[in-house]
Amino acid sequence: MRQEYLRVALEWVCKSEADEDIEAYMSRHRHDTDIQELKTYFTSVIDWISGVFSDVESEMRGIEWGRLFEIYHNQPYDPVEVSDKLHELYADGAVKKRAGIFEYILGGCKEPRLLEIRIFEESTKKAVYAQQTDEAKKCGKSNCPLCALETGNNSKRIWKFNEMDADHVTAWSKGGATDISNCQMLCKTHNRAKGNK
């Protein structure tokens, strides 16, 4: 256990030293009579984590806390707000990667990729595609809602299922659910252009 703590502490302090590797760090400090610098840095990281996250979760193990400390330790956080957000994300069934929640919160909840948000089920995509396509054919417009708003060649184009992507009408990061009521099929070009809007 002590060896594991030492390994982690060394990894963290090396991240703070411009990505110096452990061997270089150990070589540079080979004549030190104590490990005070290492201990101080390790304690600083632990104290920072404890000050930001009042909840202790099993997914906190294995996270690159030294890297996150270097990026975020100068930003102010309200532990109550952090805890509320943590519980909200833990309860959200769309979040597949719980370990990513911590960095997501530290980064201001701006990178949903960290959470590996659950994508729409295949059956949901097919049902939405069929409904959109039927309505589009009746109206003489494209089955991509964004193409249908345009006046170009694609304004009446009926896209094949494999030419479209499922999209959150209201982005997941803005509270949109990953269910059929918040799903639309967009042509791949429009879905990529839409991003997180």
How confident is the model at residue 191, as a pLDDT? 86
Task: For residues 144-164, give the mean pLDDT.
Answer: 93
> pLDDT at position 164, please?
94
81-109 residue pLDDT tens: 999 999 999 988 778 899 999 999 999 99
Can you give the pLDDT at residue 10?
80
Question: What would the pLDDT profile of 21-62 be if each residue is shown by its tens digit?
Answer: 778 888 888 888 888 888 888 899 999 999 999 998 999 988
Position 3 pLDDT exceeds 80: no
- What is the residue extent of each domain of the chain? 2-115, 122-194
The 3-state secondary structure of the chain, one letter per residue: CHHHHHHHHHHHHHHHCCCCCHHHHHHHCCCCCCCHHHHHHHHHHHHHHHHHCCCCCHHHCCCCHHHHHHHHCCCCCCHHHHHHHHHHHHHCCCECCCCHHHHHHHCCCCCHHHHCECCCCHHHHHHHHHHHHHHHHHHCCCCCHHHHCCCCHHHHCCCCHHHEEEEECCCHHHCCCCCHHHEEEEEHHHHHHHCCC
Whole-structure pTM value = 0.63
User: Stretch 142-164: mean pLDDT, rounded?
Assistant: 94
Greater model confidence, 177 or 161: 161
